[in-house]
Amino acid sequence: MIEIKNLTKRFGGLTAINNISFHVAHGEILGFLGPNGAGKTTTIRILTGFFPPTSGSAKVDGLDVFDDSLEVRKRLGYLPENVPLYNDMRVSSYLGFAASLKGVPKERGEKEVDRVINTCGLQPVRDRFIGKISKGFRQRVGIAQAIIGDPDVLILDEPTVGLDPKQIIEIRELIRSFSGQKTVILSSHILPEVSMTCGRVVIINEGRIVAEDTPENLTGKDSSRVMLEIEGPDKEIVEKLRTLHGVTNVSVDAYPGGGSSRYTVEMEKGKDVRGLLAQSVVESGWRLLEMRSSKPSLEDVFIRLVTEEVE
């Protein structure tokens, strides 16, 4: 549904994105991640027809976003990070206005407004002025205008920014409901949200793609971790465990009390040192109270990839 090939964008001497390529299949929700200045917004603006690439191509449903810009826009719903809403309009009136701009026939306009209001849970505020509703409802209005006209592709830039935990969960569930029906690119700094919402992730840094895979595979590719709770002297425990073959790092994470501490032991890829860890602790005369495996989070992977690129 979306295909980006060798896409490059330069602004004078600055290369914002450098020869990037990726695709998004129909019905897929893709997480598009990167630090500030990485090239996310530039890529999104090219996809949404705000400006052309310097070289390469971007296509939506087989249509070039520059050569067939109007046709592409008819297939797109876009939620920018700062939603451009009209505060002096009522919710239903604004959505009717958005429907007319998107070319929804007048005879279908009212039904379409009702549909997106129901989909986005806007019934309690449909007749209120946008400037008088909460941040959470304003975000819902922004998503409603993006999906009005039932576009095949949604591009959502930071859809949960500034929301409270309850509102984040509600918006997340709404986005997940699009899976299998619409093609979605979700750009967000909230990495746990991406893990729970997206089937695949593209990470961009300094204008280049540094990783592309499912969240599960990305976290599984990093070194595995073992969490331990041990009763004994911290310094000696850390020094002892670091000497074991296959162990790359040991850190003290917490002090739950009762003379014990919690440790994170990182292992080399493909190594399983749990047996060695248990044996070493017991032979040293310390008490092993807990041992469990733990994979790094998507946030851990993201920070590692971005840090490696900087270095």
pLDDT 10s digits, 191-203: 877 888 999 999 9
Identity of the highest mean pLDDT range in 25-29, 174-178, 210-214:
25-29
What residue type is 304 in one-letter code? R
Q: Give the pLDDT of residue 302.
A: 80
pLDDT 10s digits, 226-251: 999 999 999 999 999 999 999 999 99
Q: Give the pLDDT of residue 311.
A: 46
For residue 222, pLDDT beyond 90: no
Please report the DSSP string for 65-123 in residue order. Answer: TTTTHHHHHHTEEEE-SS----TTSBHHHHHHHHHHHTT--HHHHHHHHHHHHHHTT-G
Contact 127, 78 (CB under 8 A): no
